[in-house]
Chains A and B, each alone.
Chain A
Amino acid sequence: MNLIILATLSMGGLAAFFAFMLSVAHSKLKVEEDPRVEKILDALPGANCGACGFASCHALAEAIVKGEADVNACMVGGSETVKQISKIMGVESKAVTRKLAFVLCGATANDRSKKAIYQGVETCRAANLLMGGDTACQYGCLGFGDCEKACPFKAIKMIDGLPHIDPSRCTGCGKCVQVCPRQIIILEYFEDLNYRVKCSSLDRGKKAREVCKKACIACGRCAKSCPFEACWVDNNLAHIDPQNCQQCGVCFLVCPTGAIVEVQNK
């Protein structure tokens, strides 16, 4: 009998001691975290991709609560995420402005001519280091697919040695832009219908034509035909200003090589 009482008292005493210590610690070592941070973290995709400019989804959640970041900072989550975050923060939901990636080269493996046979590591960055790779055009796509491998959302597919970007999957995170050694992938805002010069070649005329069938030869027809002064040729490469462009499509029609393309993004 004595044993039972002794056992109960001693264990009970020990437990009470620790319970006291824990309650003291709980009040002394409390971490004040705004409950909204946890809720926003749940609403965010959790990919920790860094596209918003913050180190992690948790960092962005903290920034949004502090007011250092906008509710539509996460372009990966889409409008659904922005709506949830706006509700948590008690503000008006903003539109999601999303940039899309675009490859400034339209040459498939058939269109490009090669200047050498490449035997080496089959990545764009390795090929580019070795005398600028095996393509005759020193500005365009090398076709080994570093961008495809870098994309965390599987939005890029290499078809015929040229990357195709799926606008429904692209989140504008910019990983492909960083990885391309020729830096011919750009991030831009796209309308439903766009016209872009899908070429980066600074060669002109015959030289450009020799290295690639689809190159911009800087003939200037697009610039001359544009009624809105949205198209011009600079440094042997045609440029279209998306701000002034009214999507009339004349440049697309007059381009002799097919360097200007029509981009439909839904």
Chain B
Amino acid sequence: MPKIILILLGAVLVNNFVLRYFLGICPFLGVTGRVESATAMGFATTFVMTLTAAIVWPVNHFIIQGLNLPFLEYVSDILIIASLVQLIEMFVRKTSPALYRALGIYLPLITTNCSILFLALFIPLRNYGFLESVVFGFGAGLGFTLVMLIMSGIREELDFADVPKSLRGAPITLIIAGLLALAFMGFTGLIGTA
């Protein structure tokens, strides 16, 4: 199988950022109340992740590794991510005010989403090329969106279910997240070792 497909499948299913590495739990718990806002958040994050991967790779390759400044890796990553999220926030505010209001505080919170920093750190770690990095970023975002969609769908159904009083809200969501993680473990071995 071509490496690109392996990377994509790996990022989406086998090594899902939320369910395998437990990253991005904040929006995962915070924005999955309704399907519309969850998918919107997922798409916004995917957009940020893809762009981040596209910008982090050249900066990493030419500046951090090129000039041998490994101690600046974290600084440059945060700089890139923060600026990108700001740009995207401005873009969303202009193009869709309703979406902007729906996402609310969670849009700038994408900056602090650990999954994006993890993505930026993983790229040099795995020695990906430019195209591979972008695909990896896109796949990570896609996997995140998938899980957001699943969780929001379940939580919407849960509104009609008889959840015990002490478990309502965050507790039952976390339990479901654990069950989802168990389910996604079934994907291991799908593509050999990724």
Contacts and interface: CB of A to CB of B under 8 A. Distances in A.
Interface of A: 3, 6-7, 10-11, 14-15, 18, 21-22, 25-26, 29-31, 58
Contacts of B90: 25-26, 29
B113 interface: no
Contacts of A25: 86-87, 90-91
Contacts of A11: 72, 75-76, 79
A51 B101 CA distance: 21
B63 A10 contact: yes
Q: Is the interface of A mostly helix, strand, loop or mixed?
A: helix
B3 interface: no
Nearest to A56: B101
B59 interface: yes
A10 B79 CA distance: 12
A59 to B, nearest CB: 11
A14 B62 CA distance: 12
B104 interface: no
Contacts of A26: 90
A31 B93 contact: yes
Query: Size class of B's contact patch?
Result: 10 to 19
B80 interface: yes
What 9 pairs across the A-B complex have the smallest Cβ distances?
A18-B83, A29-B90, A29-B94, A10-B63, A25-B90, A25-B87, A31-B93, A7-B69, A6-B67
Contacts of B76: 11, 14
Contact of B72 (A10, A30, A58): A10
A31 B86 contact: no
A21 B83 contact: yes
A30 B93 CA distance: 9
A176 to B, nearest CB: 24
B129 interface: no
Contacts of B80: 14, 18
Nearest to B92: A29
Nearest to B95: A29
Given A11-B72, A29-B90, 16 more contacts: A3-B69, A6-B67, A7-B69, A7-B72, A10-B69, A10-B72, A14-B59, A14-B80, A21-B83, A22-B87, A25-B91, A29-B91, A29-B93, A29-B94, A30-B94, A31-B94
B97 A31 contact: yes
Contacts, number: 42
Contacts of A3: 69
Contacts of A18: 79-80, 83
Given A7-B72, A29-B94, A58-B101, A14 B87 contact: no
Contacts of A22: 83, 86-87
Contacts of B87: 21-22, 25
A14 B91 contact: no
A64 B83 CA distance: 35
A116 to B, nearest CB: 29
A227 B93 CA distance: 63
A212 to B, nearest CB: 37
Interface in B143-159: none
Contacts of A29: 90-91, 93-94
A15 B93 contact: no
Interface string B99-112: 00100000000000
Given A3-B69, A21-B87, A14 B94 contact: no
Contacts of B94: 29-31
11 contacts: A11-B79, A14-B76, A18-B80, A18-B83, A21-B87, A22-B87, A25-B90, A25-B91, A26-B90, A29-B93, A31-B93
Nearest to B88: A25
B93 to A, nearest CB: 5
A26 B91 CA distance: 9
B148 to A, nearest CB: 24
B97 A10 contact: no
B79 A14 contact: yes
Interface string B53-87: 00000010001000101011001100110010011
B138 to A, nearest CB: 22
A31 B97 CA distance: 9
A58 B79 CA distance: 34
B80 to A, nearest CB: 7
